[in-house]
A and B are shown apart, each in its own frame.
Chain A
Amino acid sequence: MTKLRRSMLFVPGNNPGMMSDAHIYGSDALMFDLEDSVTLREKDAARLLVYHALRTIHYGDCERVVRVNPLNTPYGKADIEAMVAAGAEVIRLPKTETAQDIFDTEAEIERAERKFGIPVGQTRMMAAIEGALGVVNAYAIATASPRLIAIALGAEDYCANLKTTRSLDGSELFYARGAIIVAARAAGIDAIDTVFSDVNNEDQLIRETQAIKQLGFDGKSVINPRQIKPVHRVFTPKQQEIVKANRILAASREAAERGSGVVALDGKMIDRPVVLRAERTLEMAYASRAVFEEDET
């Protein structure tokens, strides 16, 4: 079944209150943050807190991602060792600029896996691209390790690097989003969009999510549990889309049984890309249980 990454909820790594119930809101992934949300003097305490939470709390079906500090800080190596030992499913590397960043991080992950008797390769990676150099190197980054499951855009640092600011229409992010989604698809991995910071503006969150879904993104980072449901609604196929996908696949099967490679449905030609899109729609529908939640779509 398709692994859903429609939403990834940020959880500050030094906030035990949020950490204890982060999984009850229904996001597809949780991202425990040891980096920007933790002050320098609390890095040690946050590392211990996330380690003990991951070893103790059962987070259900939520994918457990940890954003570690970069390796060029005094905290990066210890973060990776602790989080691999804790059983984090995914290590998220911030501010990724080159493939070498991935190689260096992977070497630390592998060292920790060997030290703690964890099968080498079990810990996956996600790379956050947060600057112009990272965008330019997006494909090299996306293909730097078989551990990579996704690349993600970090827009705040990216905009600062570009000497611009974020706008509601997102025009400043258009090139980066395009580069990241194309690199991810070429590498066969997922693409995760950046956060939308105004938690009180749900209408704009929905518009932005619709726009990045249209670009091809698999999901969006969220900073508040209130943002999860609107994002899921955008990514979950609507009932009419599911019905149409089923009809396309039925028509395609019927044509194949007749030995025909081409078929028309409602006056439109059904060819291979149309069938692939229909299959993707049904995969998403089943993975998100949309077929059982018609009232919510």
Chain B
Amino acid sequence: MKITAPASAGTMESGDILIEIEPCEQREVEVVLKSSVANEFGKQIVSTIRSAVEEFGLESAVINAVDKGALDCTIRARVFAACQRATGTSEFDWGKRV
């Protein structure tokens, strides 16, 4: 699956996370995170973003994330929404394990 256009999902409101996604020249997923709790939870947030991107089927992307205290389920939902928009797909495997 390939990114056809830069896209974003989420907001900068409390409890949310803004995910911006764009193509990456290398074959890798690069995550840049801004979060007030980066020292405490930064590694976990980046790991959650990275695993959601890979689960979606993207092998190459640059993700800029601004976290406002989002739960893991919110992070995953926002990453999937951004990936769908960036790849122009609307299909989602509802019913799989979250």
Separation in Å of the B76 CB from the closest CB of chain A?
6
Separation in Å of the B63 CB from the closest CB of chain A?
16
Q: Once bound together, how far apart are the Cα atoms of A231 and B89, in whole Å?
A: 44
**Judging by beta carbons under 8 Å apart, are B84 and A20 in contact?**
no
Report which A residues bind B (CB closer than 8 A): 15-20, 44-45, 48-49, 51-53, 55-57, 78, 81-82, 85-86, 115-116
| Most chain A CB inside 10 Å of its own CB: which residue of B71, B92, B94 | B94
Separation in Å of the A91 CB from the closest CB of chain B?
14
Give the residue of A20, A86, A115, A116 whose beta carbon is less than 8 angstroms from that of B74: A20
Q: Once bound together, how far apart are the Cα atoms of A118 and B70, in whole Å?
A: 30
B16 within 8 A of A: yes
Chain B minimum-CB-distance residue to A21 = B15
B73 within 8 A of A: yes
Chain A minimum-CB-distance residue to B13 = A17
Report which B residues bind A (CB closer than 8 A): 9-10, 13-16, 70-74, 76-78, 80-81, 84-85, 90, 92, 94-95, 98
**Judging by beta carbons under 8 Å apart, are B92 and A56 in contact?**
no
Give the residue of A45, A55, A82 whose beta carbon is less than 8 angstroms from that of B73: A55
- Residues in chain A near residue B16, CB distance under 8 A: 15-17
**Judging by beta carbons under 8 Å apart, are A17 and B15 in contact?**
yes
A-B pairs with lowest CB-CB distance, top 3: A17-B15, A56-B73, A85-B94
**Judging by beta carbons under 8 Å apart, are A56 and B80 in contact?**
no
- Residues in chain A near residue B90, CB distance under 8 A: 44, 78
Chain A minimum-CB-distance residue to B69 = A17
- 10 CB < 8 A contacts A-B: A18-B15, A19-B15, A20-B71, A48-B78, A53-B77, A56-B71, A56-B73, A78-B90, A82-B94, A85-B95
Given known pairs A16-B74, A44-B84, A44-B85, the reply for A116 and B13 (CB within 8 Å) is: no
Q: Once bound together, how far apart are the Cα atoms of A81 and B92, in whole Å?
A: 10
- Residues in chain B near residue A16, CB distance under 8 A: 15-16, 70-71, 74, 77
Separation in Å of the A52 CB from the closest CB of chain B?
4
Give the residue of A15, A44, A49, A85 whose beta carbon is less than 8 angstroms from that of B13: A15
Q: Once bound together, how far apart are the Cα atoms of A76 and B73, in whole Å?
A: 23
Give the residue of A18, A45, A57, A85 whose beta carbon is less than 8 angstroms from that of B78: A45
Separation in Å of the B28 CB from the closest CB of chain A?
25
Given known pairs A20-B71, A85-B94, the reply for A48 and B81 (CB within 8 Å) is: yes
User: Beyond the given A45-B78, A53-B74, A53-B77, could you list 5 further A-B residue pairs with CB under 8 A, ordered by the A residue number?
Assistant: A16-B15, A17-B16, A49-B81, A57-B73, A115-B95
